[in-house]
Amino acid sequence: MSDDQGGEHNFASDNVSAVCPEIMAAIVNANVGSVGSYGSDPLTARLTERLKEVFETDLVAIPVATGTAANALALSVLTPPYGSVLCAESAHINTDECGAPEFYMGGAKLLGLPAPAGKLSADSVELAIAQARAGGLQSAQPHAISLTQSTEWGTVYSRQELASISAIAAKNDIAVHMDGSRLANGLVRLGCSPAEMTWKSGIDVLSFGATKNGAMAAEMVIFFDCDRAAGLAARHKRAGHLWSKSRFLSAQLLAYLTDDLWLRNAGNANVSATYLAEGLLKIEGVCLLQPVEANEVFVILPEPVSTRLRHRGLGFAAWRRGNLFNQNAFRFVTSYSTRTSDIDRLLNSA
Ligand SMILES: Cc1ncc(COP(=O)(O)O)c(C=O)c1O
């Protein structure tokens, strides 16, 4: 965390942050001359090679501009219209994508499972599969499991947890999708390699996020099993997500994966969240709703504290989700750009 002084920081989301300078420079540098369109440019070719290095395997990747598009496209390849996708009740695909996954899948069903701390468990997944199998034709059969790393509750699946869910998926011939909108935050937390947290843990398809961690608008769908990706390119185009000037997406993602920028950015966000949580916990009456494992802090704040923070113009989000209706529940999100001084200012205002 740097100690630079600056304007008021907003903790409502990591989406509120500016584009990080390295990525903005890469966009500007890409803005020269004529190059191939629709992904046939040199930057996109270099990105594909870089991804194979980073993930230590062959893969199929398509860049898109939003996480919703990445999730919906990925799931549409895995699941037929009459199938279902098992996910956490709190999954972004289930609560915040306006039915895009169902729309792209042509009507397939999302089955939201109870997931304390935002995580699916091997047991709940196994039970849901057994129930669907027992339902026969009456039940939409699961074709995919979707889990989010780091989760919508700021927690992180361990490699063991990922492996145990994937093992059940494999046993039942079901694909595993990871919503990695905050992938780098989970990766930094686990301290393992990108390969270990994904395909070596049984993940077949990844939505790789960069926007929340410093990009302007850049995500990817990555298939680790290239044979499974049949139809992805056509769906990408049909959905209107194939950019003619794809070089500007690829430029962002290449910069993101250069000199560990993605890991450095996520590292700052994670360290900042821990520092923020420790500071908040020193205030009487504050308690955490979830362990802080990545870059999100979910807390109960006494009413006078939240009122003071609001009056001082600080940005953070009221959090009412699922069966959590507590008026005093809030979410604070840190990012690559959060500074120690931003957090100190917030804590001093509380
Ligand atoms: C867990 C998760 N997945 C996916 C997304 C992608 O959303 P968007 O389509 O807004 O880029 C988000 C954004 O908030 C998210 O939190």
CA of 67 to the centre of ligand 1 (A): 5
pLDDT tens-digit series, residues 258-314: 999 999 999 999 999 999 999 999 999 999 999 999 999 999 999 999 999 999 888
CA of 8 to the centre of ligand 1 (A): 24
* Percent residues over pLDDT 70 in the chain: 98
Distance (Å, rounded) from C-alpha 276 to C-alpha 271? 9
Ligand 1 pocket residue status of 189, Cβ below 6 Å: no
Residue 4 predicted with pLDDT over 60:
no
Query: What's the angle, vertex CA 258, arms to CA 177 and CA 151, rounded to 5?
Result: 30
Question: What Rg do the C-alpha atoms of the chain give, in angstroms?
Answer: 20
Whole-model pTM: value is 0.96
* Poorest-pLDDT segment among 147-151, 243-247, 321-325: 321-325
pLDDT band at 52 (very low <50, low <70, confident <90, very high): very high
Average pLDDT for residues 230-238, to the nearest whole number? 97
CA of 92 to the centre of ligand 1 (A): 6
CA of 177 to the centre of ligand 1 (A): 15
Ligand 1 pocket residue status of 67, Cβ below 6 Å: yes
| Secondary structure of residue 224 in the 3-state scheme | coil
Ligand 1 pocket residue status of 94, Cβ below 6 Å: no
Residue 6 predicted with pLDDT over 70:
no
Average pLDDT for residues 327-350, to the nearest whole number? 95
pLDDT band at 7 (very low <50, low <70, confident <90, very high): low
Average pLDDT for residues 203-223, to the nearest whole number? 98
For tokens 């089955």, name the residue.
111
Ligand 1 pocket residue status of 295, Cβ below 6 Å: no
| Secondary structure of residue 130 in the 3-state scheme | helix
